Structure 1
Amino acid sequence: MRLTRACAVSASCIALVAMTACTSDSGDSPESSPSTKSSSPSEKSPSPSTEESEKSDSETAVFKVSGTAPSGVDITYGSDGTNLGGNTLPFSKTMKVKEDALYYQITAQLQGGGDIKCSVTIGDHTKSGRAQGGYNICSAQLNSGFSGGFS
């Protein structure tokens, strides 16, 4: 049992010495300030990507439903992270585009008859659909691409 305690004490001492040596090398070295300065330019390089993400965020998704629905319409719209609704025609809503969204979609279900068109637009890309009669559903969806943007 004494041997086990001695090994534990020795291991603790070795770990403490190793941590102290690592701490004193990084803190007392005059080379630490140039390395800090070299990280400063690398902080500036992400700013273009930050500007790109702000550009993406400034885009809007536009959701529209138009037509006739004498018995009513149920509208659901948003991205993969949201589920919003509406029930009046004409319908038009905008939403800020999020960079991490996988898709933006709109569906509109007729409640007993009518003729409607629906669309979702982001930038220059538009997807649209149409539904007529009965309880049919109009659906449109823009998907995010691997290299960014929506199609």
Structure 2
Amino acid sequence: MSQQYPQPGPGGPQQPGWGAPQPQYPQQPGWGGPPPPPKKTPVGMIVGLGCLGVFVLFVILGAIGAMVGGDSSSTSKGTTVGTDDDKGTEAEKKDDAPAADPEPSKTPKSEKTEEPKKADKPAKPKKQVVTFKVWGTAPDGVLGPLDITYGSDSDSRSGTWKNGKFTATLPLDDEALYYTVMAQLQGSGDINCSVTVDGHTEKAHASGDYNICHAQANAGLLGGWD
């Protein structure tokens, strides 16, 4: 069984929510109407300005790089560094290039190089000597054979007469005052004697009895012998 509700009569009070018009209330601020739309930011303008700034920045950096590159190139005096490919190309060119003929030897191989001659050693000067001589006829006497002495003022020696002659030598002493030779006969005979110093010769003669043959070369005051 359905429940029946009383219907409002005309002129009777209407209950809210039942087909009656809603009461009108004054509109409060902030209620009801939609809020005003926010102002739109010019996104395109910002993007355009950003792109322009980036472009200007690249232009400035490019100009600075060009200036720095120009300075470095002027400093290096145009020196360029080749790449690995360039180096490889140069190496191939060197390998392909024909090898240069070595410089021909100036001296033919068949000719033997002469060995440098050893410098001739200067001949040592011959040591000068003094020569003493006695020759002639001198028979032995009561005191024996011919008596001979020879030498210098600082060196006196005795000689021996044999087979009618006598010869002896001594090294030349530049400090010697004289060189001499003496031969005395023993009762008879005839003899000659000589002394030779530095190419200079002094001679003497003796004959008979006990005479003496005496030859002497004296050192000169200004050099030489007399």
TM-score w.r.t. structure 2 length? 0.41
What secondary structure sits across from 1:104 in the alignment? strand
Q: Which of 147, 153, 177 is the equivalent residue of 1:80?
A: 153
1:59 to 123, 128, 141: 128
Is 1:108 aligned to residue 108 of structure 2? no
1:3-41 per-residue CA deviation (whole Å, 9 max, x = no partner) reads: xxxxxxxxxxxxxxxxxxxxxxxxxxxxxxxxxxxxxxx
Match for residue 195 of structure 2 among 103, 120, 131? 120
**Uncovered stretches (5+) of structure 1, i.e. residues with no partner:** 1-53
Alpha-carbon separation, structure 1, partners of 2:188 and 2:160: 14
Q: Could you report, residue by residue, the CA deviation over 1:31-86 in whole angstroms, capped at 9, with x for unpaired residues?
A: xxxxxxxxxxxxxxxxxxxxxxx96x921110000001112210010000011011
Provide the residue aligned with 2:205 in structure 1.
Answer: 130
Structure number with the higher helix fraction is 1
Name the CA distance, whole Å, in 1 between partners of 2:159 and 2:186: 13
RMSD (Å) for aligned C-alpha atoms: 1.7
What's the secondary structure of 1:133's corresponding residue?
A: strand
Alpha-carbon shift at residue 87 of structure 1 (Å) = 2.9
1:27-66 mapped onto 2 (5 Å cutoff): 58-66=127-135
TM-score by length of 1: 0.60
Please identify which structure carries the higher strand content: 1
Deviation at 1:147, TM superposition (A): 2.0
Which whole-Å deviations, capped at 9, do the CAs of 1:103-143 have from their partners, x for residues lacking one? Answer: 00000000111000000001221100011010000000000
Structure 2 counterpart SS, 1:113: strand
Matched, 1:148 2:223: yes
The gaps in structure 2 that reach 5 residues or longer are 1-123
What one-letter code is carried by the residue in structure 2 that aligns with 1:66?
W
Segments ≥4 residues shifted beyond 3 Å: none
Return the alpha-carbon distance in structure 2 between the equivalents of residues 86 and 142 of structure 1: 18
Higher Rg: 2
Separation of aligned partners in 2, 1:149 and 1:80: 16
Look up the match of 1:94: 169
3-state SS in 1 of match to 2:176: coil
| Total equivalences in the alignment | 97
Q: 2:214 aligns with which of 124, 136, 139?
A: 139
